[in-house]
């Protein structure tokens, strides 16, 4: 499979060259370091928490995130000599704070203007002009105006809409809450015209801040490089504390892929280091180094996200890739939806190609599109309609409404998927008699499937019983036949109901595919009925129903395809094919930052 074989490498060098050697090893990026002592670099960082330089990484990340979120970006500066890091960070942070302040001020002014517009333009008079009386503003619901009309207060209506009446009351003191049905409205003393001038000035300042932010985006690459350098140095300090020091020499140990050993040997010879290579011992648990070509890499991304297989297990990446693609296509069950999904992948193709993970996922997206179109043609569904041309119609081989056939197909897929899982588990246990237990499950499921499809015969029952006997006798590693082994076998046989339920779980492929197709047909029929019932405007409604309905169905189908396609692989399949979990190979390497332009 694609789990790379590893060896343990021990490196011994002179202590006064330790920093240079570790830095060069980090540049090489081939070693998964095994700690030989507790990291002192990390402890030092925790103790020295009063150092102001420790705050810079957080400021770097915050500033970078702020610039990356800018919609428009400038051409990148790539020469480090042009970067004054402290000055750039100060400018970015000041711009960020100023922009936040201006946005808050704009939002406040915008709301205040909207609240004041019904009152119109006015300026509060001096108290002496009104004989020390004051103006009190109220926004009164129309149904409560009768309370105002019955009061003895002098008031005047300024504005009225379908919900409220805007009134002004003249009084020396604020009217008592028992007299007025609502609390007073705070309009402020600044006239509407001045607020609009302030809003315009704020908008201009905000545009200037946005322009300054856009100009600062030219430092994104160098900021990314600075963050990478900071994290690389932190990793170097941590690894430096994990070596074993013996006076004038130090020792470093780690796992390395066998294919990379020649590079490490050449490095050790060049630096004058002592290099010792060892095979992993049976009681050791090396990390898992998955290595798949980019075309199947999407399966590795899924596997790594969910559960890393053990080093001595097998790599399920390719099986997960092909089975997930197949399950997704069956759940989609529509060539039109698959082409729409492919269009989204094509739209994002270039941006996804900027990282290794993106390139792997877009390759999986292309495979999902191809499989979905192929299966959609086989079931003859094109946005819930029949084939647009007779040639495609002739290629229809399956009918989603043929429940018996589709259920048989789904169960067959599930049974074969679990048979494959048990055979792979048998391969993992090839050096143990427990492999016969996994083979027994595969035999039992195969005989049960063939008996269900073709009709059970005496031979089917014999083969099924032989499979269960293999499970009974070989479910443990004990070689002697004793009561403990029999009890363990009986407990293992209770998984008959589990594997039966897991096979039936694959019926979701048929159910979700049928649901997707049925919804598409329903939206088509609903749109046609509305269009025929309402001449003229019915055409517009027809198009809106088609657009909204198929968009909703497409989103639901994609979500279902991803969730249930992964579930069948990562729960049902994993339960029968992977026993032990591992941990990923993490090379002691420097981060790479690729320059980009806009």
Average pLDDT of the segment spanning 7-17: 93
Residue 132 falls within a domain, yes or no? Answer: yes
Phi, psi of 206 (to 5 degrees): -70, -40
Tokens of 302: 């899924």
CA atoms of 216 and 202, how far apart (whole Å):
21
Q: Residue 153: inside a domain, yes or no?
A: yes
Q: How many domains does the chain have?
A: 1
CB 164 within 8 A of CB 140: yes
Which class for 403: exposed (0-12), middle (13-18), buried (19 or more C-beta within 10 A)? exposed
* Structure confidence at residue 261 as a pLDDT band (50, 70, 90): very high
| Residue 295 predicted with pLDDT over 90 | no
119, two tokens: 């009152």
Q: Choose among 450, 480, 446: nearest CA to 466.
A: 446
Kindly report the pTM of this predicted structure.
0.76
Return d(Cα 52, Cα 85) in angstroms, integer: 15
DSSP states of 9-28 as a string? EEEEEEGGGHHHHHHHHHHH
Q: Quick check: is 544 in a domain?
A: no
Tens of pLDDT, residues 32-91: 999 988 755 444 444 344 444 444 678 888 999 999 999 999 999 888 888 888 899 999
| CB distance 437 to 425 below 8 Å | no
Q: What is the pLDDT of residues 565-578, one digit of tens each?
A: 999 998 899 989 98
Distances (CA, A) of 219 to 61, 70, 206, 463: 13, 13, 21, 70
Q: What percent of the chain has pLDDT over 70?
A: 96
Helices and strands: H and E segment counts in the chain? 22, 8
Encoding tokens for residue 17? 């060259």
170 is a domain residue: yes
Structural domain boundaries, residue 130: 125-188
Whole-number pLDDT of residue 243: 92
Residue 146 lies in a domain: yes
What is the pLDDT, as a whole number, of residue 598?
46
- Sequence-distant (≥ 6) Cβ neighbours of residue 297 within 8 angstroms: 317, 356, 359, 360, 363, 364
* Chain segment 483-528, per-residue pLDDT in tens: 888 898 899 999 999 999 999 999 999 999 999 999 999 999 999 9
Give the pLDDT band of residue 596 (cuts 50, 70, 90).
Answer: low
User: Is 144 inside a domain boundary?
Assistant: yes
How wide is the angle at C-alpha 183 spanned by C-alphas 171 and 123, nearest 5°? 50
Pairwise CA distance, residues 366 & 297, whole Å = 12
**Domain contains 166:** yes
pLDDT digits (tens, 9 = 90+) for 353-363: 888 888 999 99
DSSP symbol at 35? P
Look up residue 335 and give its two tokens. 């060539």
Give a yes or no: residue 133 inside a domain.
yes
Quick one: pLDDT at residue 132?
79
């Amino acid at each position: 499979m694609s789990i790379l074989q590893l060896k343990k490498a021990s490196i011994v060098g002179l202590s006064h060259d330790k920093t240079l050697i570790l830095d060069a090893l980090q540049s090489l990026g081939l070693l998964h370091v095994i700690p030989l002592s507790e990291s002192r670099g990390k402890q030092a960082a925790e103790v020295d928490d009063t150092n102001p330089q420790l705050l810079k990484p957080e400021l770097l990340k915050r500033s970078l995130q702020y610039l990356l979120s800018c919609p428009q970006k400038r051409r990148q500066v790539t020469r480090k000599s042009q970067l004054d890091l402290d000055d750039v960070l100060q400018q970015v942070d000041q711009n960020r704070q100023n922009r936040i302040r201006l946005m808050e001020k704009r939002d406040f002014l915008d709301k205040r203007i909207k609240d004041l517009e019904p009152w119109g333009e006015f300026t509060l008079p001096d108290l002496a002009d009104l004989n020390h009386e004051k103006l009190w503003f109220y926004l009164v619901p129309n149904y409560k105006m009768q309370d105002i009309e019955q009061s003895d207060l002098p008031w005047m209506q300024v504005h009225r809409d379908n919900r409220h009446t805007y009134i002004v009351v003249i009084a020396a003191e604020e009217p008592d809450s028992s007299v007025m049905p609502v609390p007073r409205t705070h309009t402020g003393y600044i006239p509407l015209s001045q607020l609009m001038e302030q809003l315009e000035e704020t908008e201009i300042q905000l545009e200037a801040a946005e322009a300054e932010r856009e100009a600062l985006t030219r430092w994104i690459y160098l900021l990314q490089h600075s963050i990478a350098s900071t994290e690389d140095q932190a990793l170097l300090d941590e690894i430096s504390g994990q070596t074993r020091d013996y006076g004038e020499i130090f020792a470093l140990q780690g796992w390395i892929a066998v294919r990379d050993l020649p590079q490490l040997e050449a490095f050790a010879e060049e630096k004058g280091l002592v290099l010792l290579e060892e095979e992993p011992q049976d009681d050791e648990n090396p990390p898992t180094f998955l290595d798949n070509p980019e075309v199947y890499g999407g399966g590795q991304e899924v596997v790594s996200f969910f559960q890393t297989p053990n080093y001595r297990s097998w790599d399920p990446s390719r099986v997960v890739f092909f089975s997930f693609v197949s399950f997704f296509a069956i759940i989609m069950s529509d060539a039109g939806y698959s082409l729409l999904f492919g269009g989204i992948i094509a739209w994002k193709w270039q941006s996804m190609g900027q990282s290794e993970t993106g390139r792997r996922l877009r390759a999986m997206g292309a495979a999902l599109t191809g499989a979905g179109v192929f299966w959609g043609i086989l079931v003859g569904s094109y946005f819930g309609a029949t084939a647009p041309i007779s040639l495609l119609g002739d290629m229809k081989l399956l009918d989603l409404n043929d429940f018996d056939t589709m259920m048989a197909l789904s169960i067959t897929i599930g049974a074969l998927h679990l048979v494959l899982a048990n055979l792979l588990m048998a391969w993992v246990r090839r050096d143990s008699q427990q492999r016969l237990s996994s083979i027994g499950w595969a035999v039992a499921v195969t005989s049960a499937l063939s008996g269900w499809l073709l009709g059970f015969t005496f031979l089917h029952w014999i083969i099924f019983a032989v499979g269960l006997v293999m499970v009974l006798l070989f479910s443990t590693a004990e070689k002697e036949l004793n009561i403990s082994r029999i009890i363990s076998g009986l407990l293992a046989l209770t998984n008959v109901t589990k594997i039966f339920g897991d096979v039936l779980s694959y019926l979701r492929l048929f159910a979700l595919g049928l649901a997707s197709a049925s919804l598409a047909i329903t939206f088509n029929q609903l749109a046609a009925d509305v269009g025929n019932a309402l001449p003229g405007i019915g055409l517009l409604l027809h198009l809106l129903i088609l657009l909204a309905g198929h968009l909703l169905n497409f989103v639901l189908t994609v979500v279902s395809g991803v969730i249930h396609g992964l579930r069948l692989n990562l729960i049902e399949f994993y339960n029968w094919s992977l026993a032990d979990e591992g941990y990923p190979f993490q090379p002691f390497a420097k981060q790479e930052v690729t320059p980009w332009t806009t």
